[in-house]
Amino acid sequence: MTGRAPLGTARVYVAARCICRQEGAEVTLRKHVLVIIRQIWSREIELHRALLFCLGYAAFLFFLGWGAYVYFLSPYETRPALERRLELSREQAQGEAGKAAAAVDYGWTLYQKYLQTGESEYLAQARQQYEEALKADPDNAAAKYNLALLCDEEDKTDQAVALLKEVVAAQPRHYLAHYLLGRLYTERGDYPEAVKELQQTLSLMPGLANVYAELGSVYEKQGRAEMAVEAYRQALRYNPSDGLARKRLDALGLPSGDTR
């Protein structure tokens, strides 16, 4: 025999080399495919990150703008919006003559215009609308309460108190009327009635820091220091930045940080 491999063996060898080459090509192809997939995936992740960043930034700008609007323009409306509402309310009041609701709405818009501009003519016009509303509907609580606000603005305390008494008699849960009545009693020096109305306000709407602070002020005027301190503490509990409560606690010798 010669040193050459048999023909069958040579064929097996060649076939084996072809198979190895084919498998190597397949492995190389798989590697390339995996690399391409990784690149695509990483790019998609980058796109997702960019998209999320853009959405987050847009949301930030939206809430920043909304916060600026609420902070700088509340509680009053913007001038263009208020002008449009003023015109609409005027048309409604004229088109629904004798209807108290339209007159009350128009009067409220005029009152907001007064608060915005400080021009007394709007206050006089608002009063006229509320008085017309009460002519049409003598029991209209909204007209009476809003007219009481105007009377308070004009230092007509007795008229404001009389109107508010009628409001709380008809609507005992009208906490705003109780609160304003308490403030007016305080101004008149009628402290027992002021305490009664402010306490009623808190029973209807707990957690109003400014009402607790005013109640503490009334207690102080009555010489009830301990109750005043407790009221001020409650005010700071609901609103830690309440300036009146902190100032009065300091004046009473209690550190402003001690709100236990």
How much of the chain exceeds pLDDT 90, in percent?
Answer: 52
Structure confidence at residue 100 (pLDDT): 86
Question: For the chain, what is the domain count?
Answer: 1
pLDDT greater than 70 at residue 123: yes
Q: Average pLDDT over the chain, rounded to whole?
A: 79
What are the E-state strand segments in 161-242?
A: none
Structure confidence at residue 13 (pLDDT): 41
149 domain residue, yes or no:
no
Structure confidence at residue 248 (pLDDT): 87
Structure confidence at residue 138 (pLDDT): 92
68 domain residue, yes or no:
no
Instruction: State how far the Cα of 11 lies from the Cα of 13, in Å rounded to an integer.
Output: 5
Please give the average per-residue pLDDT across 133-149, as a whole number.
94
Query: Which domain covers residue 119, as residue numbers?
Result: 78-138
Our CA dihedral for 174, 180, 181, 185, rounded to 10 degrees, sits at 160
Instruction: State how far the Cα of 172 lies from the Cα of 141, in Å rounded to an integer.
Output: 11
157 domain residue, yes or no:
no
Give per-residue pLDDT as tens, 60-74.
777 777 666 555 554
Structure confidence at residue 70 (pLDDT): 53
Give the lowest-confidence range in 29-38, 226-235, 238-247, 248-257.
29-38
pLDDT greater than 80 at residue 56: no
**DSSP-derived 3-state class of residue 240:** coil
257 domain residue, yes or no:
no
25 domain residue, yes or no:
no
Q: Against a cut of 0.75, is the pTM above it? A: no
Q: What is the DSSP letter of 172?
A: T
Please give the average per-residue pLDDT across 149-167, as a whole number.
96
Most confident of 28-32, 177-181, 239-243: 177-181
224 domain residue, yes or no:
no
pLDDT greater than 70 at residue 131: yes
Cα 148 to chain center, whole Å? 26
Q: What is the DSSP letter of 76?
A: S
Q: How many CA atoms lie within 13 Å of 31's alpha carbon, on the beta-carbon side?
A: 6
Give per-residue pLDDT as tens, 91-103.
655 544 458 888 9
Residues constituting the chain: 260
Instruction: State how far the Cα of 184 lies from the Cα of 163, in Å rounded to an integer.
Output: 12
